Amino acid sequence: MSEAETDQDRAGHAAGTSGAVPARRPRIAAAVTAAVLFAGVATVLARTTPWNPLPGHVPGGHVRPDPALDFTPAEIARSRAFDSAVTPPAYSGLLVGLALILVLGLTPLGARFLGRATAKLRRRPFLIVLGTMALTTLLRVAGLPFDIWGESVLRRYGLSTQSWPAWLVDQAKSLAVTWVIYTIALLLLYALTRRFPRYWWTGAAAGGFVLVVFASFVYPLAVEPVFNKFHSLPAGQLRGDLLAMARRDGVPVKDVLVADASRRTTSLNAYVSGFGSTRRIVLYDTLLKSPPAQVESIVGHELGHAKRDDVLWGTLVGALGVAGAMCLLYLLMTSPRLLRGAGLDPGGPGAGGTGPDARRGGGAADPRSIALVLALVTAGTTLAAPVQNLVSRHIEARADAHALDLTRDPSTFVSMQHALSVRNISDLDPDTAEYVLWLTHPSAPDRIAMARDWARLHGVQAPPPLR
């Protein structure tokens, strides 16, 4: 859309003529597209989420999760003490971070901060790059005391093995990754808002979808090596058994990688990342000291993710959600009331290309709106987290069921869940807020109860209580 067309439409709107009609059309189209995309995501989630990972009637009824059946009073007390120690920094950091970005984004403070940070720059891309780096750095520094507090708790309970200098290096790496991701996304977004002031939501929706898929694909190759070194699981009985199990499961796995997690933590973990040619199954090196049967049970869980293409499925659903969010972002970023509240001129000082701040662009195209964009994105991701966590817990439960189907060894599964929980000091009785905000996996008692349900359902002897 040309500058002349923009000026004509603005003049028509001010005069109360038909210029107002074209101005509403993009917003209506964006609203309808957002509604369709979000309805599509909701439909896909409702139809594909494994709400019942163990289909069929369980003889004798479902087992009730009970930490006291498998964990000693000392283990339960330690879990509660750790939860009480780690919860304050987690909630405090979350609340302070939310409050800060919302204040910066929804008031003129953010625009003023960005204006001062980029005052000496003239070229528009540099305004966006420096503004993004300045704001994300401010947010990271504000959260640093709470991160240090949480790290201190991990050290006190023996979960962290890092020195403070090494920990700070990781924080710097994380900030650098944030700079790269946010800068690329915002450079593309503001290029669209500048070039297509009325219909940038179409490009943002398509671009957001592509970026999410691309980022998920390259994450194992571009981001994971920044924080860990990986090597193939050495040749031997364990490697042979794991690859044989993958072949038996019909999952093409060329290699099993080991991450040098022990230089940071004593916790046990494994995961699947990437899809297609970048898909990998990764074990923490801390896990290799566990009994081979327990490692096989854990890898069986990860094979469940790989066989169902959970990473790819989650990526595509997430990308659809981001596309819808870009349409919603357009509606919010073209709201004159919201822009004025954020200290931005909806018309823009440089909208006509002649003002002293013409390099910035007007309204949503003004790089000083970066704070508003991040505030809206943060609010959206926070509101979406409970739904994401709910779906994730059911997908993880399905992967547990897959591991049980593959190994047919619920006793080892139960002992493995016990060992993981004790080693990682997992929360054995999370409250509702923790389930909603944090838990992407079922609790250990839930997973152990499901293993006993699986045993009843398949006529296998149910694992007795470990105590």
Binding site members: 301, 305, 396
208 and 238 Cβ atoms separated by less than 8 Å: no
The catalytic residue among 9, 70, 224, 400 is 400
Catalytic residue among 151, 302, 310, 446, which?
302
Q: Which residues are annotated as a binding site for Zn(2+)?
A: 301, 305, 396
To the query of whether residue 400 is one of the catalytic residues in this protein, the response is: yes
Token output for 195:
């070039």
Partners of 165 in the β-ladder: none
Longest CA pairwise span in the chain (Å): 80
345 is catalytic: no
> What are the residue numbers of the active site?
302, 400
